[in-house]
Chains A and B, each alone.
Chain A
Amino acid sequence: EAGVAQSPRYKIIEKRQSVAFWCNPISGHATLYWYQQILGQGPKLLIQFQNNGVVDDSQLPKDRFSAERLKGVDSTLKIQPAKLEDSAVYLCASSLDRRAFFGQGTRLTVV
């Protein structure tokens, strides 16, 4: 089966610029997660969707981060404006039965 698709793979932006990441989950997976993985740390949950509704966004810095999942399929994560500490790999995962399948991630570097 096709995996979780993410784009872009890499992004370099200057601080205070905005950036958006895209995720296409595995077909039929109702649950979609966005994680932030800072170098040397485990993935940290940013937001979780069930279909197109938000289940948990308690760790999402809402002053600069936003995410949406229109029609319960694809999702976008946006950062505006970016800070240096946002440099990380942003992982999208989808699941059907509690097992999460991850995409390759987007490596963001903020300079």
Chain B
Amino acid sequence: AQSVSQHNHHVILSEAASLELGCNYSYGGTVNLFWYVQYPGQHLQLLLKYFSGDPLVKGIKGFEAEFIKSKFSFNLRKPSVQWSDTAEYFCAAYNNNDMRFGAGTRLTVKP
């Protein structure tokens, strides 16, 4: 069965620190990959997506992610986090009408 794994359950950073959240998927074949963010009390919002082409994708608010096919990974990065980035981050993979989410990583940014 296809699955999505997120390595970090809770990450705590100070403002201006760099961020990298890990995501691995177990699909074979063509896969579409997403990162969603859920700010406290709000609904899930799309941060960025990868369908095809350039494996380095840029999303909103300075986030980017790199698709590495050989590693089945789609890690999320941001060079300098802000307090307002405090949220839960979910990696998701879509293949053949099936969309699965990882367990999520809670990011806490200390001012």
Over the window 73-105 of chain A, the binary record of Cβ atoms lying under 8 Å from chain B Cβ atoms (1 yes, 0 no) is 000000000000000000101000011111111
Report B-chain residues with C-beta under 8 Å of the C-beta of A104: 42-43
Assess the B99–A33 pair: CB atoms within 8 A. yes
Within A55-73, the residues touching B (CB, 8 Å) are: 55-56
Assess the A42–B43 pair: CB atoms within 8 A. no
Report B-chain residues with C-beta under 8 Å of the C-beta of A19: none
Assess the A42–B103 pair: CB atoms within 8 A. yes
Closest chain B residue to A4 by CB distance?
Answer: B43
**Segment touching A, from B44-52, B54-62, B64-72:** B44-52
A101 to B: closest C-beta gap in Å: 8
Assess the A45–B43 pair: CB atoms within 8 A. no
Chain B contact residues, majority secondary structure: strand
Report A-chain residues with C-beta under 8 Å of the C-beta of B51: 98
Q: Is B22 an interface residue (CB 8 A)?
A: no
Interface residues on A, range: 20 to 34
Report A-chain residues with C-beta under 8 Å of the C-beta of B94: 98
A44 to B: closest C-beta gap in Å: 8
Among A43, A98, A102, which residue has its beta carbon within 8 angstroms of that of B32?
A: A98
Assess the B43–A103 pair: CB atoms within 8 A. yes
Q: Is A24 an interface residue (CB 8 A)?
A: no
7 closest Cβ pairs, A-B complex: A42-B101, A102-B44, A42-B103, A104-B43, A43-B101, A42-B104, A102-B43
Sample of 15 further A-B pairs with CB below 8 A, known A42-B104, A43-B90: A35-B101, A42-B103, A44-B101, A45-B100, A48-B99, A56-B97, A91-B44, A93-B44, A98-B94, A99-B34, A99-B46, A100-B99, A102-B44, A103-B43, A104-B42
